[in-house]
Amino acid sequence: MEASVEQLVYVREDEYTVARMSAEDVPAFVASGRALAGVQPGETVRLAGGWGEHPRHGRHFAVTGCERVVPATVRAIRIYLGSGLVRGIGPRLAHAIVDHFGEATLTVIDTEPERLREVVNIGPARQSQITEAWRDQKAIAELMVVLQGFGISPLLASKIYQVFGTDSGEVLASDPYRLIGRVRGIAFPTADRIALRSGVPESSPQRIEAAVLDRLEAAAAGGGHCYLPLLAVLTQTVELTGQDEDLVRRAVDALAAERRVVVEASPDDAGRTVVFGKEIHSRELALTAHLTRLWKARSTLPVRAFQEDPGLHDDQRAAVTTVLANTVSVLTGGPGCGKSHTVRAIAATVRAAGGTVTLTAPTGKAAKRLSELTGMPAMTVHRMLAHEPDPDSGALFEQTPAQADLIVVDEASMLDLHLATRLTAAVPSGSHLLLVGDDDQLPSIGPGSVLADLLRVEEIARVRLTHVFRQSEGSGIIRAAHLIRAGEVPEPRGGGGFWFEEIDDPEQVAERVVHLATVAIPRKQGVGPEQVQVLCPMRKGATGTAELGRMLQERLNPAAEGRAEHWSGASAFRVGDRVMPIRNNYDKGVFNGETGRITAVVPEERRLEVLIDDGETVTYGFDELDELTHAYAISVHRSQGSEYPFVVAPIVAEAGGVMLRRRLLYTLVTRARSWVVLVGRREALELAVHRLGRRRRTALAHRLTLSLQGWDAPAEGPR
């Protein structure tokens, strides 16, 4: 039967979809099944399946097949156009258009779009917008059919079209491997399925080369690695393609000859050969060059010493002296060791001597926290790099912030290779660069391990603060963090802010986490649920970010009559939702790790608006929503640089607990300001404390050591 999709009720990660439907001569009903994947409200579909009883929805239609069709009746056309699927048409305008053209409406839009101007309130600009949106919608629908023919999720159609536009069909037909790395959600297996079904030979050099590049990209995206040993590349590519190792070796050689990869000796002097992706290799070289330039430069700082501050501990005084004496330095230490107070003393010394200081951090929350702790203005690294001086603004500096005499980067463990390269490139020679961070925390989300690598270079000046100032306050969080750091399991009832609640079953753990976050902690502490953040070691499973986020959204911001929402994949975006950008978008001025709240969902314009915590309102098109994720439950990695009053987290060993590592647990616990409550199995907690993660494969420390050791300093020295 043919039916119109009225509303999506539920979409699971495996694309199982539940939707409310309407059809001619059939009462409104609920349909469900994976065959519904990708349907949107307003579409007309031809369903195959059968009627049955659902424990929650009652009589429903179990879908085994679903085909999109062009709406044929006036009612179906009105629903289609009024749903917002065609940008520029809302419910009122849809009624007006259909009232004017009747069953011929879609034919008119398709073949005689200029006739739309016969309808009141449609001028040339609106008619052009509707025509373009109609063309795009048709193209995406055609792509969906093509993808379904390859056995590929139709949800990828709009993402492919967003990147390749009208060339999408040609890319699928001639070179589907171009999709890898450019379309979010498409890795080698998906592109390979399309290619093989299109007739590309399994032994094709094009196929083998794509697999090699995919393995390097997966190592960077999944593990933060800058390179892979050649043997690992060969082994993984053979497993991925089922082809002989000789073919893979030839593919690596061809890619190296084309300079798409770089093959060189291992940086750890183990006699091995390693393979870099071209872009990451270039960034490592550039970062090495910029750090070397800054390290060699003669200081322009107008001060060389500071007056003794009786409020500083010995290692803090050593830190101030070190930073003043070196153009590149690192300040590290655990929680409660006075890093922020030390930064304040350093900055005050420089300013007292007439120098300029810029305080920065990788995320907005980290910058705000740095400002609160030091009592000085701070900004994100991204905003510092994008800043243009304005002589009429009353700004603190006459020059750009990146040209200050001292630049401090807090939460430096979050710096990935890309951001660190942009940062150091902007700092002028002679300025002092101070990286501040806790090297026991998780490394950056992106590839590289910049802070840890610099600490491996003996020539880079560093001070590690070890005296714990907040120990006397009886902070259970601080005590637990230092125990975890030392490889010891904290007491379950640590008091003073740390609490572990033991529950075995993962589903019961999930229910308890949601109850704590939405009811128990807000009630006991007298705060709103927005003061409680759920952090997860994993994304999938009963206690992963996806499922816990869905449960929290249903408790805190459920679907409601009259409240606009839009489904993108398995996520429903509603007014009031807490969201987080997961990619830097320099055009929008938003960056990974910031948070905000959805203030408007506008279906007819296919967009939503997000009020970022810093007060800026940002617009996202419906085709850009893979850049947003809900922030009800977030990964520990994405919480870096942030601090929350209350943190609740599941600690279970689902899927072997592959993500449970000491650094992850340490980072999780130190995100809480007042209380952190862990819920799960004691064995999982012990596993996390005792399991050490592997170091990322990077060559920065090796390159920088060679660069700095090979330099002959002038007699008077640079600093």
The reply to whether 558 and 578 lie within a common domain is yes
The reply to whether 229 and 340 lie within a common domain is no
Q: Is 340 annotated as a binding residue?
A: yes
Cα separation, 235 vs 322, whole angstroms: 46
Eight-class DSSP state of 573: E
Model's pTM, two decimal places? 0.88
Question: Of 81, 113, 114, which Cα lies nearest the Cα of 96?
Answer: 81
The reply to whether 314 and 405 lie within a common domain is yes
Asked if 407 contacts 414 with a C-beta cutoff of 8 angstroms, the reply is: no
Element (H, E) at 386: helix 381-386
Question: Could you report the per-residue pLDDT of 172-210, keeping only the tens digit for each?
Answer: 988 999 999 888 888 999 999 999 998 999 999 999 999
How many distinct structural domains can be found in the chain?
A: 5
In a domain, 162, yes or no: no
In a domain, 273, yes or no: no
pLDDT of amino acid 718: 43
pLDDT of amino acid 184: 83
Cα separation, 34 vs 63, whole angstroms: 8
The reply to whether 491 and 551 lie within a common domain is yes
Cα separation, 624 vs 121, whole angstroms: 28
CATH number for the domain spanning 178: value is 1.10.10.2220
In a domain, 693, yes or no: no
Token pair in block for residue 647: 């943190």
Torsion of CA 591, 597, 599, 600, to 10 degrees: 70
pLDDT of amino acid 656: 57
Other CB atoms closer than 10 Å to residue 74's CB: what's the count?
14
3-state DSSP call for residue 310? Answer: coil
Please say if the pLDDT value at position 171 is more than 50: yes
Question: Of 514, 533, 712, 716, which Cα lies nearest the Cα of 632?
Answer: 533
Question: Could you report the per-residue pLDDT of 68-95, keeping only the tens digit for each?
Answer: 888 888 988 988 888 888 888 888 899 9
252-256, 263-267, 622-626: least confident range: 622-626
3-state DSSP call for residue 577? Answer: coil
Q: Is 198 annotated as a binding residue?
A: no
Q: Is 668 left (phi over 0), alpha (psi -120 to 50) or beta?
A: alpha
**Residue scoring higher pLDDT (311 or 443):** 443
Average pLDDT on 544-551 reads 94
Which range of residues forms the domain containing residue 139? Answer: 73-149
Asked if 582 contacts 570 with a C-beta cutoff of 8 angstroms, the reply is: no
Average pLDDT on 336-346 reads 91
Q: Which pLDDT band, with edges at 50, 70 and 90, does 623 fall under? A: confident
Q: Is 42 annotated as a binding residue?
A: no
Token pair in block for residue 409: 């980067």
**Residue where one domain finishes, among candidates 18, 35, 69:** 69
Question: Of 18, 44, 40, 16, which Cα lies nearest the Cα of 31?
Answer: 18
Average pLDDT on 588-610 reads 87
Cβ-based neighbours of 315, under 8 Å, separated by 6 or more: 463, 464, 465, 466, 467
Question: Could you report the per-residue pLDDT of 658-704, keeping only the tens digit for each?
Answer: 678 999 999 999 999 999 999 999 999 999 999 988 899 999 999 99
Asked if 37 contacts 75 with a C-beta cutoff of 8 angstroms, the reply is: no
Question: Could you report the per-residue pLDDT of 351-402, keeping only the tens digit for each?
Answer: 988 899 999 998 888 888 899 888 899 988 988 988 644 444 444 444 578 8
387-396, 551-560, 625-634, 645-654: least confident range: 387-396
Query: In Å, how far are 232, 239, 263, 563 from 243, measured between CA atoms?
Result: 15, 8, 21, 53
Average pLDDT, the chain: 89
Q: Give the length of the chain.
A: 719
Question: Could you report the per-residue pLDDT of 296-326, keeping only the tens digit for each?
Answer: 999 988 876 666 677 788 899 999 999 999 9
Cα separation, 640 vs 74, whole angstroms: 53
Asked if 678 contacts 501 with a C-beta cutoff of 8 angstroms, the reply is: yes
Range list of H helices, 464-581:
476-485, 506-515, 521-525, 545-556
149-158, 283-292, 322-331: least confident range: 149-158
pLDDT of amino acid 36: 92
pLDDT of amino acid 487: 94
The reply to whether 60 and 79 lie within a common domain is no
pLDDT of amino acid 714: 52
pLDDT of amino acid 150: 86
Compute φ and ψ for 5, nearest 5 degrees: -80, 115
Question: Could you report the per-residue pLDDT of 456-491, keeping only the tens digit for each?
Answer: 999 999 999 988 875 544 588 998 999 999 999 998
Cβ-based neighbours of 390, under 8 Å, separated by 6 or more: none
The reply to whether 383 and 422 lie within a common domain is yes
Cα separation, 320 vs 328, whole angstroms: 13
The reply to whether 60 and 85 lie within a common domain is no
CATH number for the domain spanning 614: value is 3.40.50.300
Cα separation, 438 vs 641, whole angstroms: 11
**Residue where one domain finishes, among candidates 440, 465, 490:** 465
Element (H, E) at 164: helix 157-164
Asked if 61 contacts 85 with a C-beta cutoff of 8 angstroms, the reply is: no
Element (H, E) at 308: none
Cα-trace Rg, the chain: 28
pLDDT of amino acid 121: 84
Question: Of 24, 34, 36, which Cα lies nearest the Cα of 72?
Answer: 24
Asked if 416 contacts 445 with a C-beta cutoff of 8 angstroms, the reply is: yes
pLDDT above 90 coverage of the chain, percent: 61
Asked if 670 contacts 441 with a C-beta cutoff of 8 angstroms, the reply is: yes
Cα separation, 425 vs 391, whole angstroms: 24
The reply to whether 522 and 567 lie within a common domain is yes
- The separation between CA 663 and the C-alpha centre of its own chain, rounded to angstroms, equals 19
**Residue scoring higher pLDDT (555 or 144):** 555
The reply to whether 635 and 514 lie within a common domain is yes
Average pLDDT on 441-468 reads 94
In a domain, 276, yes or no: no
pLDDT of amino acid 304: 63
13-22, 299-308, 511-520: least confident range: 299-308
In a domain, 225, yes or no: yes
Question: Of 360, 361, 357, which Cα lies nearest the Cα of 405?
Answer: 357
In a domain, 241, yes or no: yes
The reply to whether 455 and 604 lie within a common domain is no
Other CB atoms closer than 10 Å to residue 102's CB: what's the count?
11
**Residue where one domain finishes, among candidates 444, 465, 486:** 465
Asked if 261 contacts 213 with a C-beta cutoff of 8 angstroms, the reply is: yes
The reply to whether 319 and 381 lie within a common domain is yes
pLDDT of amino acid 494: 62
Query: In Å, how far are 85, 185, 213 from 571, measured between CA atoms?
Result: 17, 15, 30
Please say if the pLDDT value at position 588 is more than 90: no
In a domain, 349, yes or no: yes
Token pair in block for residue 524: 């006991």
Please say if the pLDDT value at position 113 is more than 70: yes
Other CB atoms closer than 10 Å to residue 145's CB: what's the count?
12
pLDDT of amino acid 453: 97
Compute φ and ψ for 370, nearest 5 degrees: -60, -40
Cα separation, 53 vs 62, whole angstroms: 9
- The separation between CA 58 and the C-alpha centre of its own chain, rounded to angstroms, equals 39
Other CB atoms closer than 10 Å to residue 331's CB: what's the count?
27
Q: Is 365 annotated as a binding residue?
A: no
Please say if the pLDDT value at position 163 is more than 70: yes
In a domain, 160, yes or no: no
Average pLDDT on 244-262 reads 97
pLDDT of amino acid 88: 86
The reply to whether 424 and 522 lie within a common domain is no
Amino acid at 81: L
